[in-house]
Amino acid sequence: MAARPETPRRLGVFAHPPRHDLAPQNSASRSSNATQRTGCATRHDLAPRNSASLRSAARASRIHGVPASAKDVASEPGKENGIRARRERAAAGVRATGDWLRRLGAATAGASPDGRLTVAVDVRAFWEPLTGVGWYLHELLRHLAAAEGLRLRLYGPTLFPNPDAPGPVVDPPRGPAIEMVTGLAPPGRWGRRRSVLRALRLMEPLVFALQRNAVLFAPNFILPRTFRLARGATVATVHDLAFRRLPGTVREETRAALDAQFHTTLARASAVITVSRTVRDELLATSAIGAARVTAIHHGPGHLSTRKGGAPPPGTPGRYMLHVGTIEPRKNIELLLGVWESWVADDPAAPALLLCGRRGWKSEALHAAFDRAAAAGWLHHPGYVDDDALAALYRGALAVVCPSLYEGFGLPLVEGMAAGTPVVASDIPVFREVAGDAAVFAPVHDPT
């Protein structure tokens, strides 16, 4: 019976002396001896055919104590540098994530440690050119910026903005009582991924609720989505009820949002501010809210009354009457154009009409009339102007004209009177309330 051939034993790392303990041999004899001992050629004796083989050969050489090839030895510093760079990037990412978690934790720290009343304020209006609501909020914050005992935490459109997203059009007022809550998105590329931002924004109401603000202030009719799960006293400002009184003069999307959310905000509100007694009466007549929770607080003349410098926009006529406000249906601009067209036809020396404000919703039908009137020389429309120019226009006007069909207050009346300029206004209840006997009133629909 033939003898069974001996099965070669697997050699471990320590199954034979390291190669450098053997007597020097040439490469051919080393290869032959290795083959005789193990029954196969060792890996470092095979010529590497690619980079993977080269790395395997170097690894095998280090295991058996044989120096790697000169090419591998030369590449080791570069490899170590690459590993070090990756470790540094990872450490930087960990530090950035830690900073983000600390910011998020600070934002959810709850009550102010110094005992101040913490008030969350919706300031999304600052992300658009300021009109009535925006100026109301800006002036309110400006006067409260140094108030003792208050911590005003301002919230923009989102807690987790994309780093590339535009900031506010107008910066919020600054002061020891004001704190802007923003920039809570994760650092690095995670903060730029849409999927991550979408997931975080779904969690915004929960994150906001953890911040435990004592008061939630909604200066523009309704609570934003971010505030919905939060506890705390709710205060909302109602500027008008145009979406109920004259729904055709309000944008469809605005009307839909108010119809869907206004009742919920009123039901939750601890207090409601209206900007006039007229709006308060309308609100009590059309909503199931107790009178004790609704307070009317008038606007003041604002910062324009203190502006003494500045110059009117280029091209301002020498004699003009001024209208201030966005060009939209309830401003009744169509009637104003008809009045001026008839006036100029009867008296070519009549003063020009100057419209100060951007073209807004449903103003397209008036664009052709604007062009004709501008070509005739009696209409000037500089658009949206800065504060200094607006103050100069108020001071230089022969009169301020306000032909609105409906308003919640009528800030241009107050600004015009503060500038010492006569006011001509439509005969509606709120203008009677605001101007008293200091204005000339004309029927709303009568161009004469």
Instruction: Tell me: do 180 and 310 sit in the same domain.
Output: no
Q: Is 98 within the bounds of a domain? A: no
Over residues 290-314, the mean pLDDT reads 85
**Domain assignment of residue 243, yes or no:** yes
Same domain, 286 and 311: no
119 and 264 assigned to the same domain: yes
Query: How large a percentage of the chain has pLDDT more than 70?
Result: 73
Give the pLDDT confidence of 47-105 residue by residue, as tens digits.
444 545 545 544 444 444 444 444 444 455 566 677 777 777 666 655 655 555 455 55
Q: Pick the most confident of 91-100, 116-125, 163-172.
A: 116-125
376 and 358 both lie in a single domain: yes
For residues 314 and 265, state if they share a domain.
Answer: no
Are 331 and 404 contained in the same domain?
A: yes
Q: What does the pLDDT read at residue 98?
A: 52
Give domain status of residue 423, yes or no: yes
| 157 inside domain | yes
Residue 204: predicted pLDDT: 87
347 and 427 in a single domain? The answer is yes
Q: Is the pLDDT of residue 385 over 70?
A: yes
Q: CATH number of the domain at 432, please.
A: 3.40.50.2000
Q: Look at the chain and report how many structural domains it folds into.
A: 2
- Quick check: 265 pLDDT over 80? yes
The enclosing domain of 152 has a CATH number of 3.40.50
Which residues, in sequence order, are bridge partners of residue 101?
none
Q: Residue 76 falls within a domain, yes or no?
A: no
Domain end (from 243, 277, 302): 302
The pLDDT confidence band at residue 191, using thresholds 50, 70 and 90, is: low
Do 287 and 319 sit in the same domain of this protein?
no
Compute and round to an integer the Cα radius of gyration of the chain.
Answer: 38
Looking at 270, 302, 334, the residue that finishes a domain is 302
Q: Supply the range of the domain harboring residue 203.
A: 108-302
pLDDT at 1: 46
Q: Is residue 2 part of a domain?
A: no
Examine the domain organization and report whether 218 and 288 are in the same domain.
Answer: yes
Does residue 309 register a pLDDT over 50? Answer: yes
Judge whether residue 183 has pLDDT over 80: no
Q: Which of 271, 302, 333 is the last residue of a domain?
A: 302
A 10 A CB-CB count for 424 gives 17
Which pLDDT belongs to residue 398? 98
Residue 97 lies in a domain: no
In a domain, 380, yes or no: yes
